[in-house]
Structure formats: C-alpha cells, structure tokens
Chain A
C-alpha cells in the first residue's frame, strides 16, 4: 500500500492517462492488429461492403454486450440474455403474424425483455441470491417458456413491412448498426454522465461502502438487469427482422459472446470496472475475426478455437500490463 502510493505519486500524469484511456487504446490496438492481419491474408477484406458486413454481424452481440457490461460493472452477470431474446422474439413474432400493429408487437417484445430483467434483478437485489445462479436458473426457465409457448416450432411468415424496418439502411449503413450505435452512445452517457452510472460503478466497486454512502443499491442493480433484458429484446427484434422468422431456440450461447466482448473491452467480472467503448471494440474484434476466418474458409471448429484464444490473450495482456506494483 505504502509503496504503491509513493510509486505512483511521482507520475500522476501517467496514472491519469492509465485510468482513463490506455485500456481502451489497448483494445483498439488489438482490433487494428486483427484487421491488418486479415487484410493481408484475405483479398477483399477491406472492401467497404465487407467492413459494413462486419459491423452488421457484430451488431447483435454488441447490443447484448452493452447490457452485459452494465450488469458486470454492477458486480453481477446475466447468463439469461439468449433465452430472454428468444422469449421476446417468439412473443413479438406471434403477435405480428396475428396481425397486431408493428409498434404494439415490438413494444410487447421490449416489455418481455424488461420483465425478464426485472425478475433477475429482484432475485439478485431483494432476495439476495448470487447473480450467476439466478441467471443460470432463468436461462433455463426463459428458454423453457419460449419452447412451451411455441410448442418448439418456429414462428414463420413475419410481415414484410416489419422486416423492412430492421433491414433498411441510412446513409449507406444498415439500420441495425445505426440503432446499436445510438444504444452505445446512450450507454456511454449513462456510464459517464449520470448518477446511475456512478452508482453502478460504486455498487460493483464496493457495495458496502456504496450502501453507507446512501446509494440505492437494489434499484441500481435491478435497473442494470432490466437494461440488459431490454437490450436482449432489441437484439431479438433485429434478428427476427433479418430472418423473417422467430425460433424458440434462437440466441443459444449468446451470453458467452456478450461476456467475451465485455471482458475483452476491459470489464472486470469482479465488478466496478468496465468501458462502453471497450465493449464495442471487443464486439467488433470478435466479429472481424469470424468474418475473416469465414472468408478464409476456415472450419468452424477453428473459429471457436480462435475465439477462445482471443479471450485468453486479452485477459493475459490485461494482467501483464496492470499487474505490476
């Protein structure tokens, strides 16, 4: 303790930079390295069309990962995002097929996400169960509900008008990408500029101290899970818009990609630490890698291997650069 104090006192400037941007810069460098490598190996990787493709392919994971980042910062985890998305998707989809107006069907899907998140949050914050176990339980529960509701069958034949909403583009960018970019901006503002953001960081950083300082612990945690649920529902809408159908098994293992993106971006599973910019970069890193490997016709087994190695490499670099002193 003593030595750390002295150690850093001599270079407050470096310390300041370290706190605020070096971690994000590191993630950015990681992304650039990956882009350069694939650019060299894969002809046409840097084509505008392919770059847009990467963004589009990353958008759903980025959307989930933003919610996941807030939950992780609060000291929790949300394993139930995939099934939440599936439940939201099948309910919206069946309403759409039944001829319910688009806004109402979409709103119903969002409401499902919020309710799923609320349940997670209440079990964590008021009942005091561990987030990992709570969301492991709701992971199965929500998935089961989606399967029971649909009898295990996909909901097919979504109206073309609905599909057009999420498949459109603006300024040459797919609408899904723009939506997620807006969500990211909002998440950034929440984390950096609002009391809720401060509360998230405090609750995850030291819950007991936050309590004594008058932070509304339960409300903060519940809000984080509700946002995560809402963003899972948004991801679901984007996906069923793209596919034109909603499967009750959609979103399988989404939680793992979302956690990976957040962790690559610098979120600490211990809570109290995480970055919106980092998470977005993390999602794009994962997306670029998959895109590049697919273009190189690499078997999916190896893609899985590459994903695993990227996560481990990111964590090792994190450890080595931060572990001193």
Chain B
C-alpha cells in the first residue's frame, strides 16, 4: 500500500503548551483511516495542520511521498486536501452549486459568474453520490445529511486526493449514516485517502480498516481494527480502564410528574406518562419523532396546546422556563453552545444564572456565598480544570455540560430533562455524566433522558418510552429493553405496527 498521506514527526507548540508531539502515521490511497482520541488529544490540531490553518512547529506532511508546504487553506486545497468540518461551513441562502464553487466561482471572461455551468458541473459531481440533490436549490432547504454530501461532492470537484472528515455524523440518523458510509467507501474506491474523526467507536469500527489513537498530543498506537476490541481502543484513548457499570434502579413508587394528553401546535400529540421519584425515564425514537419538542414542552420553553401536567399531585401551568424552574423542572439542552452556556461568562456565573433569587435575597448578589456554592457544586460534578472564574467557552463540552448540571443542582431542581446528554462529549467525560445521572436519581431526583444512542438509553433508563410521529408508540420496562425492541417501535412500519400503536393509544 503506497502512503498517500504521511505525517512525519509533527509537533505543534502554542505558547506554554505543546499540543502535538512527534506525531507520525500514514494513510494509504484508498484507505479509510480512523483518528480517535478524547477532546484535547490533538485531533483537531492535526486536522488544522493538514488543512493549512496551522503550521507545524516541527515535522512535515508528505503527500504521495513528497513533502508539501501547507501554509494556508488555499495551499492545502491546491495540494489536494479537502476538509469536511463538523459544523458545516456553508452559506444556507446560496444554492448548492454556488456553495460548491464558493471562493473560486466559474466565470465568463473573469467577470460574470457562469451559473449554468456551475450547476452543470455540480450536478455531475453529485450524480455519482446523490442524484436527488438539485444543484439549483438553496442549500438551506437541504437536510444536514444532504449538506454533508454536498461538501463531499465539493471535494470531488476539487479532485481531492485526501479527504479529512471531522465528526461528520454527529447529527445524522442511522439510515443517513448508512448512506454516508457508502459515499465514503466510494471515495476510497477511487483512491482517495480518507481521515475519519469520530467519537462514535462503532462507526469507526464499521467503516475504517485502521485507526490511529491519540492521547495528550501523542500517538498511542495505530491499530488494525480487525485485531482489537472496542474496549481496548477506549482504554487507549482514556489511558485507563473504564469500569463497565451495572444498571441499578432507584425509582420509588411515589409519582413526581404526571403528564396527560400533552400536545403542542406542531410536533407533539397526546403524550401521557408518569415519572417517579428517583426514576430515570429514557425517551427513544428517531430524529424528528418529537422527543426534543416533548422535552421543551415539559421545560416550559414551548407552549402546550392541550393536556395537563401535575408535579407532586399539583397541577402546574408552565408558560416559560422560568415557571418550570420555579416548579422544580429544568432542561439540560442538546445544543449546549446555542441553548446552554453564556460563553463569555465564567463557570460561576453560568451556574448561578438560574438561582439569582437565592444568591441575591435582598437585591444584591452575595458573591461570597455564590463562590462557596459554585465551589461545592462544581466539586460535586468534578469540573476540570477547577477554575470557577474562567469563561465557560474555554472548557470542553463535557465540562460545560457539568456546569449546566451544576446550575440545576444549585437551583434545587428535582426533575431534570436531559436532551442528548453526551452529544459531542468524549468517552471519559461521558462515563462521568452517566455516573452523575445515576447519582442524581439515587438522591431522589427524577430524570428524563432523550437520546439517539440506544446503548446510552439502555445503560441509563429504568423504563423507556419510544416515540414515533409525536406520540408515545410504546413503553418498555427494564426487562424487555433491547436495541432491537426500541428500534422495532421507533421505525414507522406496516399495518401490523400501526395497529399495535393505535391499540396502545386506545389503552392509555
């Protein structure tokens, strides 16, 4: 196998920090190579060097055996490197074709954009991977998965020899992932070297032959994935064995939250369930089945159109998150950056935001008390590094999540709603978040966990509601819980399933 891409002794130093140290590995033409590691392991830095954003302090990048200088993103692109970012860097209002030619449009006489020609060439590139995408459609009208594919088509247009993908599937459904995997395999067949970064080990094991595991800026090992177990890879990533924990239920018979016939104007219809004290209730279902919308209704963030909610036997009417928090119910949102954190503010401020009444009983904030409580709660959630005055944006996703959980602990919340609690969080922090959720339940908090990752739901939940088309399609107890059972109810199916679902609804 000839090495299409080779990293040779790459080091990158920032003032006071060595982000990469002597990183070497190679990726053959036609190989799909996984790049694994926790947040902060140096994967992103390495990709930025490959795509010309950073220059290495030492070492070199070789393409087809020749050293290349990748000083700017333009130079990297000219050398045949295409980068597909986690957060797509596209302009939603422009057409698919315009996006594919962004920055170097085809022109007539160097003045006018040759729109037709662009669309024709875009259609050619798309034909090979997804002919259903219309090059003239505004990019914003496409689903995330299709937008991902547009990025790949753009790489094809550029005749890229190396395609680097940073967490390409973080917002895709399983079937969309299948499609993407096919496209990636197609790239490899054409001799492209693919560097595939993902937190999802099962994906990496599914589509890559080899993977390089990084930790703290160095390569731990480049492994042949057919020869190692997922568990072994995880311990390489975190540098220790992660204990595989058994599920333990802390649910009591006492009903804390009772929901009947809850509906919203848009997505959710006729949802009824009870949540017990100390219970962890999982909510599974496909993206778009109304899970997030249900959580937002429960958290007071969106309006209900009908239905009732009772907390500890008392009817509550929630017209804002503020009401919900006062009633003891709060949301840990999926999109932390957008809905969770106030990026410029410190950990302490972010934690205290929901309990200002507690910290400022007479209108002026008691900063000493705030500091004390922040220290206590952040110790409880194991914030690292333990710097309470540091702006939250400088922390990793896992630690931001811990701070948000700390926020609700400080506010005395008794019902916690988690939407995708570990999205974008690395393996080590993931285990901590699981642990925390279990501890919260053991202390008598009631928890609802919405997750697309079935193993996560199964690991955490005492009971699972499966949602489909905005309503509860099935309720599964611990005994009947399996990925297969959840999937069977989550996927819209033939008349048999529909009959079952209706029977369930009639019974509820």
Contact = CB atoms under 8 A, between A and B. Distances in A.
Interface stretch (B40-48, B116-124, B269-277, B468-476): B40-48
A8 B394 CA distance: 8
A15 B391 CA distance: 9
A212 interface: yes
A222 B39 CA distance: 40
Contact of A272 (B15, B43, B324, B342): B342
B389 A16 contact: yes
A206 B343 contact: yes
Contact of B407 (A11, A189, A213): A213
Contacts of A2: 19, 39-45, 396
Contact of B349 (A7, A9, A16, A201): A201
Interface stretch (B259-267, B350-358, B442-450, B486-494): B350-358
Contacts of B391: 19
Interface string A212-237: 11111000000000000000000000
Given A12-B387, A195-B357, A195-B360, A216 B331 contact: no
Contact of A214 (B321, B343, B385): B321
A3 B47 CA distance: 12
Contacts of B43: 2
Contacts of A10: 16-17
Q: Is the interface of A mostly helix, strand, loop or mixed?
A: helix
A210 B350 CA distance: 9
B297 to A, nearest CB: 13
A143 interface: no
Given A12-B385, A205-B343, A193 B365 contact: yes
A193 B342 contact: no
B344 A209 contact: no
A157 B322 CA distance: 52
A4 interface: yes
Given A202-B353, A205-B344, A194 B338 contact: no
Contacts of B333: 209, 212
B57 to A, nearest CB: 13
B301 A211 contact: yes
Given A1-B44, A3-B44, A212-B299, A201 B17 contact: no
Interface string B462-486: 0000000000000000000000000
Contacts of B343: 205-206, 272
Contacts of B342: 201-202, 205-206, 209-210, 272
B345 interface: yes
A8 B365 CA distance: 28
Interface in B321-338: 321-322, 324-326, 330-331, 333, 338
Nearest to A203: B342
Contacts of A194: 360, 363-365
A195 B365 contact: yes
A297 interface: no
Interface in B296-350: 299, 301, 320-322, 324-326, 330-331, 333, 338-346, 349
B364 A3 contact: no
B112 interface: no
Interface residues of A, number: 37
Interface string A1-45: 111111111111001100100000000000000000000000000
A206 B389 contact: no
A201 B390 CA distance: 15
Contacts, number: 134
A7 B385 CA distance: 13
B42 A212 contact: no
A290 interface: no
A195 B45 CA distance: 39
Contacts of A8: 390, 394
A254 interface: no
A195 B353 CA distance: 8
Nearest to A2: B44
A209 B407 CA distance: 12
A37 B396 CA distance: 46
Contacts of B14: 3, 6-7, 325
Interface in B42-87: 42-45, 48
A6 B340 contact: no
A195 B16 contact: no
Nearest to B395: A5
Contact of A213 (B344, B354, B385, B387): B354
Contacts of B340: 209, 212
A98 B287 CA distance: 69
A6 B20 CA distance: 11
A82 B359 CA distance: 37
Contacts of A198: 349, 352-353, 356, 365
Given A194-B363, A206-B342, A6 B356 contact: no
Contacts of A210: 342, 353
Interface string B237-273: 0000000000000000000000000000000000000
Interface in A178-205: 189, 193-195, 198-199, 201-202, 205
A208 B339 contact: yes
Contacts of A199: 356
Interface in B1-24: 14-17, 19
Given A3-B14, A11-B16, A208 B344 contact: no
A5 B390 CA distance: 11
Interface centre among B45, B365, B411 (most CB of A within 10 A): B365
A210 B299 CA distance: 14
A9 B17 contact: yes
Interface string A61-103: 0000000000000000000000000000000000000000000
Of B341, B356, B365, most buried by chain A (CB within 10 Å of CB) is B356
Contacts of B394: 4-5, 8-9, 15
A4 B392 CA distance: 12
Interface of A: 1-12, 15-16, 19, 189, 193-195, 198-199, 201-202, 205-206, 208-216, 272-273, 325
Sorted from nearest, which 9 A-B pairs have the closest CB atoms?
A: A195-B356, A10-B16, A205-B342, A214-B325, A214-B322, A2-B44, A213-B353, A213-B354, A206-B342
Interface of B: 14-17, 19, 39-45, 48, 299, 301, 320-322, 324-326, 330-331, 333, 338-346, 349, 352-354, 356-357, 359-360, 363-365, 367, 385, 387, 389-391, 394-396, 407, 411
Given A3-B44, A214-B324, 16 more contacts: A1-B396, A3-B14, A3-B19, A5-B396, A7-B14, A15-B390, A19-B390, A198-B349, A201-B342, A210-B353, A211-B320, A212-B299, A213-B321, A214-B325, A215-B322, A272-B342
11 contacts: A3-B48, A5-B39, A12-B387, A19-B390, A193-B365, A206-B342, A212-B331, A212-B340, A214-B321, A214-B325, A272-B343
